[in-house]
């Protein structure tokens, strides 16, 4: 595997003295879909904003494709073409009079010819299923549509990595699953994706590559099974099992019915485990 982004002993202190990141060593491998799981205030957004130099490390370093990130204008522009960040609140990202102009902003800033800028914006809108709102004002869109347009704005720059800060926040359950499906499809096409979330029910459906952050430190990295079967991590990070896992925990603790695979974490795994038991 090729490491596309790495942080070494990364620390960050806000001007008011808050130590938001406390020495994070992290590697993002090309082609993966990874989730950063942690409660509000754990440091997820602060961490992400280091990936393309929006925040500058207080100490330690960020490396993109093996090269330390520099903070001059040219290096930052390059970094932002490679690593695109979709903010949690699309209103922080969308500002142009129309959706099309908004999505075109990134490629335009890259200095591409006008034709290519337009084509990239149109393609990106099509990819996220938002071609039909190209001429609308971004602030007239629904929450889910805004998220899709914000994603299109990043896609139009054709980054290698797309980082999304809580991509499902504020969406209804259908909107959340359809955004996650879109990210899953983009990853299947080869894009490296990293999301932050505190949604333990959603994570096992889309990513088996998890990092748990607490108080500005990554306390464990592993598969969903590794994380959700580690009581110390669950307690330290104040996580609960996904609902479906809780059902199987109840079978175990209250009825002595134990499934050898451990607690299933998705409906699909629960179905398989039950079917195996019933047909045994
Ligand atoms: P998360 O994204 O996991 O909710 P954040 O990265 O937003 O966490 O916050 C991490 C810590 O940094 C929290 O203690 C938060 O209060 C603090 N913090 C975030 N933004 C600022 C800021 N602009 N100034 C001072 N402290 C901040």
- With cut-offs at 50, 70 and 90, classify the pLDDT of residue 92: confident
Q: What is the CA radius of gyration of the chain?
A: 20
Nearest CA to ligand 1 atom 12: 20
Q: Quickly count: other Cβ atoms within 10 Å of residue 56's Cβ.
A: 12
Ligand 1 geometric centre to CA of 42 (Å): 8
42: Cβ below 6 Å to ligand 1? yes
Q: Are strands 67-68 and 59-64 parallel, antiparallel or unpaired?
A: antiparallel
pLDDT digits (tens, 9 = 90+) for 217-254: 999 999 999 999 999 999 999 999 999 999 999 999 99
- With cut-offs at 50, 70 and 90, classify the pLDDT of residue 260: confident
Give me the pLDDT at residue 135, please: 96
Give me the pLDDT at residue 112, please: 94
What would the mean pLDDT of 263-274 be, rounded to a whole number? 93
- With cut-offs at 50, 70 and 90, classify the pLDDT of residue 259: confident
Residue 276 has pLDDT above 80, yes or no: yes
Ligand 1 atom having least distance to the Cα of 213 = 3
Give me the pLDDT at residue 93, please: 82
Q: Which two tokens stand for residue 228?
A: 């959700």
Give me the pLDDT at residue 94, please: 85
Ligand 1 geometric centre to CA of 113 (Å): 39
Give me the pLDDT at residue 70, please: 95
Choose the residue to mutate in 43, 57, 86, 197 for probing ligand 1, maximizing ligand atoms within 8 Å of C-beta.
43
DSSP string, 93-114: T--SSSHHHHHHHHHHHTT--H
Query: Residues 6 or more apart from 12 whose CB is under 8 A from it?
Result: 19, 20, 21, 46, 50, 55, 57, 58, 216
Q: Of all residues in the chain, what percent carry a pLDDT higher than 90?
A: 85
pLDDT digits (tens, 9 = 90+) for 173-189: 888 888 999 999 999 99
20: Cβ below 6 Å to ligand 1? yes
What would the mean pLDDT of 191-198 be, rounded to a whole number? 96
46: Cβ below 6 Å to ligand 1? yes
H helix runs in 22-162, sequence order: 44-48, 73-82, 99-109, 114-127, 143-155
Ligand 1 geometric centre to CA of 41 (Å): 5
Choose the residue to mutate in 46, 54, 56, 88 for probing ligand 1, maximizing ligand atoms within 8 Å of C-beta.
46
Q: Tell me if residue 36 falls in helix, strand or coil.
A: strand
Ligand 1 geometric centre to CA of 54 (Å): 14
14: Cβ below 6 Å to ligand 1? yes
What would the mean pLDDT of 83-94 be, rounded to a whole number? 90
Residue 280 has pLDDT above 80, yes or no: no
Residue 153 has pLDDT above 90, yes or no: yes
In the chain, where the domains are located:
3-240, 241-280
Q: Tell me if residue 17 falls in helix, strand or coil.
A: coil
Give me the pLDDT at residue 261, please: 84
- With cut-offs at 50, 70 and 90, classify the pLDDT of residue 208: confident
- Separation between Cα atoms, residue 168 and residue 150, nearest integer Å: 13
Exposed, middle or buried by CB within 10 Å (0-12, 13-18, 19+), for 203? buried
Give me the pLDDT at residue 131, please: 96
Give me the pLDDT at residue 170, please: 86
What would the mean pLDDT of 113-130 be, rounded to a whole number? 95
Residue 95 has pLDDT above 90, yes or no: no
71: Cβ below 6 Å to ligand 1? no
Choose the residue to mutate in 18, 42, 196 for probing ligand 1, maximizing ligand atoms within 8 Å of C-beta.
18
Average pLDDT, the chain: 94
The Cβ-side half-sphere exposure at 50, using a 13 Å CA radius, reads 30
Could you name the CATH architecture of 3-240?
3-Layer(aba) Sandwich (3.40)
What would the mean pLDDT of 99-117 be, rounded to a whole number? 94
Q: Give, as one character, the DSSP assignment of residue 129.
A: T
Query: 222 pairs with which residues across the strands?
Result: 210
In the sheet with 19-29, reading across from the earlier edge strand, the strands are 19-29, 3-13, 59-64, 67-68
- With cut-offs at 50, 70 and 90, classify the pLDDT of residue 279: confident
- Separation between Cα atoms, residue 192 and residue 30, nearest integer Å: 6
What would the mean pLDDT of 202-209 be, rounded to a whole number? 89
Give me the pLDDT at residue 62, please: 97
């Amino acid at each position: 595997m090729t490491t596309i982004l790495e942080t070494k002993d990364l620390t960050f202190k806000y001007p008011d003295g808050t130590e938001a990141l406390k020495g994070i060593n992290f590697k993002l491998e090309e082609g993966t879909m990874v989730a950063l799981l942690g409660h509000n205030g754990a440091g997820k957004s602060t961490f992400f904003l280091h990936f393309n130099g929006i925040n500058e490390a207080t100490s330690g370093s960020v490396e993109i494709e093996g090269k330390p990130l520099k903070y001059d204008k040219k290096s930052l522009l390059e970094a932002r073409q490679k690593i695109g960040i979709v903010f949690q609140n699309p209103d922080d990202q969308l500002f142009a009079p129309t959706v099309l102009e908004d999505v075109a902003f990134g490629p335009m800033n890259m200095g591409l010819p006008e034709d290519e800028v337009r084509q990239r914006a149109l393609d990106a809108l099509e990819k996220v299923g938002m071609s039909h709102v190209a001429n609308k004002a971004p602030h007239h869109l629904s929450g889910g549509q805004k998220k899709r347009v914000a994603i299109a704005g990043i896609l139009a720059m054709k980054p290698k990595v797309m980082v999304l800060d809580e991509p499902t926040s504020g969406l209804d359950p259908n909107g959340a699953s359809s955004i996650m499906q879109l990210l899953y499809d983009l990853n299947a096409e080869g894009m490296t994706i990293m999301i932050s979330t505190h949604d333990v029910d959603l994570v096992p459906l889309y990513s088996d590559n998890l990092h748990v952050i607490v108080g500005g430190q990554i306390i464990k990295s592993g598969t969903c099974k590794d994380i959700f079967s580690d009581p110390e991590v669950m307690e330290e990070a104040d996580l609960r099992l996904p609902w479906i896992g809780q059902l199987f925990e109840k079978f175990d603790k209250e009825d002595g019915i134990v499934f050898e695979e451990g607690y299933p974490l998705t409906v699909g795994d629960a179905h398989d485990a039950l079917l195996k038991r019933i047909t045994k």
